[in-house]
Amino acid sequence: MELSAFESPAGEWLKGEGPESDIVVSSRIRLARNLAGHHFLSRASTEELQDIESSVGTYLREDDGRFAGLYFRMSELSEIDRYVLVERHLISREHSVPEPGRAMAATGDESLGVMINEEDHLRIQSLRSGLQLREAWQAIDDFDTGLSEKFGYAFSPRWGYLTACPTNVGTGMRVSVMLHLPALVMTQEIEKLFRAISKINLAVRGLYGEGTQAYGDLYQVSNHVSLGRTEEKIIDALEGVVTGVIAYEHKARQRILSTHRLETEDRLWRAFGMLKSSRVLSSEEMMHLLSAVRLGTCMNILPAIDTRTLNEIFLLTQPAHLQKVVDRALSPEARDVERAVFIREKLAAFS
């Protein structure tokens, strides 16, 4: 797989556009679906899983031409290529394991994607830059309707869509928003905020979902309950909470400027200087520094680097992407050197 297969270095979710994009990196809606007349994955044979992949894959590649250019079977990809897809949020870490029948498809702009035989037969997702949950829902709802008419889903009039994980039963929907919250981290208010969020049945996760850390002050907030609520109610509830979090982050940014302006400016300029001059940069350190630079540009303290450029730096310096960029396998130590080189070149025009 070549990075040239993608329409741009960073896909739809990293465009740096859309409402509230200074804080909301992306909006995502994911639907869990299982095909009627087939065993769930835990009981399906290898032949059945391969049959599901073949029939759904043919439909996506041939009947829906939007997926013709980005369709991959996990067993046919190298480990680095599978992790490129993880880093682009097109598949989960679990789905990157090359088990029989596992495949993925995405549109060229990566705004719509499908994982085949992950935990359920289908995991469909719609991604948008900024706070655009309703736009993401419209796109995925139309696509999901077409798939349902073609294949038929496992569905109960009482329980809704039947899924491998009981928490997905009902609508089968997970709605999530990725937020950049550096000021709340700096003011040490982040834990208090997330304790309050957890009390209203919302989940807070790191950059790559469940079980991952919040590198770069990036957090995913999503619904935890799918049963007994309509899709519109789930979206309304999450959007209301996210709007409050955005306001909370804005206030924290204003407060650190009004009370600790000199220290804040020094911290952000130091981060910018380190990114521009470092010779060795680990992925974790890069994320920390890039978070500060993103905050500094949004607050008009640092040079006006557009958000898309910062997002491309973030994505293309992740371990798998970086090895694709330099076109060779790299040890962890060599990655740290190449990452620093790449960032220095990207930021050379800014001072």
pLDDT band at 211 (very low <50, low <70, confident <90, very high): very low
pLDDT band at 9 (very low <50, low <70, confident <90, very high): confident
pLDDT reading at 293 higher than 80: yes
HSE-up of 163 (CA within 13 Å, CB side)? 24
Mean pLDDT of the chain: 92
Q: How far is CA 120 from CA 281, 329, 341, in A?
A: 38, 33, 41
- Region 97-115: what's the mean pLDDT? 95
Amino acid letter for position 106: A
Pairing of strands 218-223, 202-205: antiparallel
pLDDT reading at 213 higher than 60: no
Residue 8 has a pLDDT of: 76
Please give the helix or strand (H or E) that residue 218 lies within, else none. strand 218-223
Residue 3 has a pLDDT of: 75
- Region 251-273: what's the mean pLDDT? 96
Contacts of 28 (CB under 8 A, 6+ apart): 13, 89, 125, 126, 127, 128, 136, 174, 175, 176, 177, 178
Distance of CA 182 to the CA centre of its chain: 18
pLDDT digits (tens, 9 = 90+) for 171-188: 999 999 999 999 999 999
Q: Are 157 and 44 in contact (CB under 8 A)?
A: no
Helix (H/G/I), strand (E/B), else coil: 77: coil
Residue 49 has a pLDDT of: 97
Report the b/e string of 110-135 with b at 16+ CB within 10 A: bbbbbbbbbbbbbbbbbbbbbbbbeb
- Region 46-71: what's the mean pLDDT? 91
DSSP 168: G
pLDDT band at 5 (very low <50, low <70, confident <90, very high): confident
* Encoded tokens for 257: 């400027």
Q: How far is CA 63 from CA 60, 71, 145, in A?
A: 6, 13, 14
Q: Where are the domains of the chain?
A: 3-249, 260-347
* pTM of the predicted model as reported, rounded to 2 decimal places: 0.91
pLDDT digits (tens, 9 = 90+) for 129-141: 999 999 999 999 9
CA distance 161 to 94: 22
- Whole-number percent of the chain with pLDDT over 90: 80
Place of tokens 């050379």: 348
CA distance 18 to 297: 17
- Region 224-236: what's the mean pLDDT? 90
DSSP-H helix ranges across the chain: 46-58, 79-87, 133-151, 182-186, 190-198, 231-277, 283-298, 307-316, 319-326, 332-347
Residue 228 has a pLDDT of: 86
pLDDT digits (tens, 9 = 90+) for 313-344: 999 999 999 999 999 999 999 999 999 999 99
Give the sheet arrangement for strand 71-73, strand by strand.
71-73, 103-106, 112-116, 122-129, 24-33, 173-180, 218-223, 202-205
Q: pLDDT: is 212 or 306 the higher one? A: 306
Q: pLDDT: is 102 or 198 the higher one? A: 102
CA distance 36 to 5: 33
Show the 3-state SS of 90-147: CCCCHHHCCCCCCEEEECCCCCEEEEECCCCCEEEEEEEECCCHHHHHHHHHHHHHHH
Residue 200 has a pLDDT of: 86
pLDDT reading at 212 higher than 60: no
Which architecture characterizes domain 3-249 according to CATH?
Answer: 2-Layer Sandwich (3.30)
* Encoded tokens for 302: 């640092």
Handedness of CA 11, 15, 17, 22 (dihedral sign): positive
Residue 208 has a pLDDT of: 58
pLDDT band at 214 (very low <50, low <70, confident <90, very high): low
